[in-house]
Structure 1
Amino acid sequence: MSYRPRRSVLYLPGSNLRAIAKARILDVDCIIFDLEDSVAPSKKIDARDQVATALSEGGFEDREVIVRVNANDSKWFADDIVCFAKLPGVDALLVPKLEKKQQLLQVRQILKSNGASADLAIWGMIETPVAVLDIASLVRNEDVEYKLSCLVLGTNDLAKETGAALSGDRQFVIGWLMQVLLAARANNLDCIDGVFNDFRNLDGFDKECRQGLGMGMDGKSLIHPSQIDMCNETFSPSTDAVSWSQKILDEFLKPENSNSSVVAIDGKMVERLHAVSAKRIVEVAKILDIRAKSRKGNP
């Protein structure tokens, strides 16, 4: 299994040419070029064309590129899908307000009829009460092309739809977020935490990043480049975690432990199931190290 770090997931309006150009040099894992909420109706087509042009020009290198298309019931939806179906440089399409399996079916039908690569993934925005209530059946993955691979929490929309407050420690929405995370894990999907709106409040942002990490989130949605470094640091495996994970892998690789389900390491009992998460931590650390050297221009 290959791992793709998704620590930092930055939204950029498709209508903002300057932001699109700058994205090529940002130390971010994922870029979501947004055609939906951040783009005015009068700018939708121009934004789509600008993003398509930028992706055709390339230069985003190892950054994962996702395009958030307009909603299924909008007049731009189908054309958005068609535009990016075969465009090089697009890793996934993000479906907003995902609530029903039918929405995924629509996307897949358009992709298939337009000759999209089967490797093109679908991401889903979970941002309504209906989506949270039906999350288990909604995201159950099937053996199909254009798989659902990642869920993105739309916490602002959830708060708006329910009247719940996002301030403080998010105590009023935390149960819903964990429900989505459980469904993601049950279906081998990544799950990205929602945005933190006050990008100048780095203390508050740091606290929420750490909360998301503790919940088990793979990364966090960002609204401003100033949030990238702190987010990357929080969601990166620590030196101690990598060292401990390598010890676990090394111990289970010893011939005498080939059939062992439990081993003792530094006075602690470790089960073989922990080797799965240990392998992921070590692999992610290696990927991040290679990426850091590449982005700095080092050999």
Structure 2
Amino acid sequence: MAGRPRRSVLYMPGSNARALEKAKTIPADALIFDLEDAVAPDDKVMAREQVCAAAAAGGYGGREVVIRVNALETPWGAADIMAACKAAPDAILIPKVIHSGDIISAAKLLQSVHAPKKVRLWAMMETPMAILNARTIAARAVYDDNRLDCLVMGTNDLIKESRARALHDRFAVVPWLAMTLAAARAYRLDIIDGVYNDFRDVEGFRDECEKGRILGMDGKTLIHPTQVAPCNEIFSPSEEEVEWSRKVIDAFGRPENEKKGVIVVEGHMVERLHFSMAQRVVEIADQIRELEASLG
């Protein structure tokens, strides 16, 4: 399962021109220019023009640029998608996804305006219905015309709609994360964890990142630039992981092991599945180095 680094995914308010410019200096793997929750109704059109101009102008280095549009059923949704297609970001993030038809509708809009193939779709998983339909939503990725690449957890909205309590151990949230993660992995999608609201609580944030990585998340959505560095650290493969992965790759690459399903590496039984895992670890580590080099 190849991919690209999506360790830190930072929300930037689309109505704030200074924030969009500052984003060029923040070492996040991906930037979400937000036209939805972060923008007041009276500012929606202005924010759309500003965000699309920034995305089209570029200057964000190797960072992935994503535009979160308003929901299709709102007065701004369809126009947001049309404008975003012209700006050609790396992806368009669709909010309030509740069933697979939402992905199909968005993809058809992209097709109707002949959006560049590089423009992919991300889906916000932020309602109870989205969690129940996670499998069928993720399954749209089977068809490349749907352009679905990534699921993004909207844990604040999930907590609100479920009436759960927002405790630091995320007791209520973990089952939703796990269900959606299983659906994402079944259809070879990346999945990004929800935000941590108290950006001043460094230890609490680090703990939630660690637990998200243990669960299998590819990265975390962020609300403040100070969260980027610890998030990148925690979601990066460690030097030990990369070194071990290279040893596994080298071992399976030897002529005598090419057709074997199980081999021994430094006294450890290693299966062919570990070879695939090792390849992804090394590929992500290499891409992280390239990304960081491109950011200076």
TM class by shorter-chain length?
over 0.9
Contact 2:23-2:60 within 8 A present in 1 as well: yes
Q: Which shows bigger deviation, 103-112 or 128-137?
A: 103-112
Residue 272 of structure 1, CA deviation: 0.8
Q: In 1, distance between residues paired with 2:157 and 2:20?
A: 25
**What TM-score, normalized by structure 1, do the two folds share?**
0.96
Counterpart Cα distance in 1 of 2:3 and 2:233: 18
The CA RMSD over aligned residues, in Å, is 1.1
Q: How does 1:155-170 map to 2 (within 5 A)?
A: 155-170=155-170
Task: Name the structure 1 match of 2:28.
Answer: 28
1:122-141 correspondence to structure 2 within 5 Å: 122-140=121-139, 141=141
* Structure 2 counterpart SS, 1:159: helix
Q: Deviations over 1:198-229 (max 9, x none)?
A: 00000000000000000000000000000000
Partners of 1:3 and 1:207 lie apart in 2 by 25
1:104 and 2:103 are equivalent in the alignment: yes
What is the rounded CA distance, in whole Å, between the counterparts of 1:241 and 1:176 in structure 2?
Answer: 28
Shift of 1:26: 0.7
CA contact (8 A) 1:119 1:145 kept: no
Asked whether the 8 Å contact 1:35–1:68 carries over to 2, the reply is yes
- Paired residues of 2:155 and 2:194 also in contact (CA < 8 A): yes
Q: Percent of counterpart pairs with the same letter?
A: 47
Task: Report if aligned partners of 1:155, 1:195 keep a CA contact under 8 Å in 2.
Answer: yes
Shift of 1:36: 0.3
Amino acid paired to 1:86: K
Q: In 2, distance between residues paired with 1:241 and 1:142?
A: 30
Show the counterpart of 2:191: 191
Q: Residues 293 and 14 (structure 1 numbering): CA distance in 2 closer, same or farther, change over 3 Å?
A: same
Are 1:174 and 2:171 an aligned pair?
no
Question: Matched residues in 2 for 1:105 and 1:146: separation?
Answer: 6
Bigger helix fraction: 2
Cross-structure match for 1:86: 86
Q: Aligned partners of 2:207 and 2:216: how far apart in 1?
A: 14
Structure 2: runs of 5+ lacking an equivalent: none
Q: Count matched residues.
A: 295
Partner of 2:123, secondary structure, is strand
Native 8 Å contact 1:8 1:228 kept in 2? yes
Is 1:16 aligned to 2:21, yes or no? no
Write out per-residue CA displacement over residues 128-153 of structure 1, whole angstroms, 9 at most, x where no aligned residue: 11110111112202324241110000
Give the drift of 1:110.
Answer: 1.4
Matched letter for residue 238 of structure 1: S
Q: Secondary structure at the match of 2:270?
A: strand
User: Where do residues 112-261 of structure 1 align in structure 2 (5 Å cutoff)?
Assistant: 112-140=111-139, 141-261=141-261
* Offset at residue 2 of structure 1 (A): 4.8
1:160 Cα deviation after fit: 0.1
Helix, strand or coil at the partner of 2:93: strand
For residues 18 and 119 of structure 1, what CA distance do their matches in structure 2 show? Answer: 27
- Give 2:287's aligned residue: 287
**How many Å separate the matches in 1 of 2:132 and 2:294?**
43
Distance in 1 of aligned mates of 2:244 and 2:193:
26
TM-score, length of structure 2 as denominator length: 0.97
Which SS does the other structure have where 2:181 is aligned? Answer: helix
* Unmatched tracts of structure 1, length 5 or more: none
For the residues of structure 1 that align with 2:232 and 2:196, how far apart are their CA atoms?
15
Pairwise CA distance, 1:166: 2.3
Give distance in 2, aligned partners of 1:163 and 1:79.
Answer: 33
Worse-superposed segment, 202-211 or 134-143: 134-143
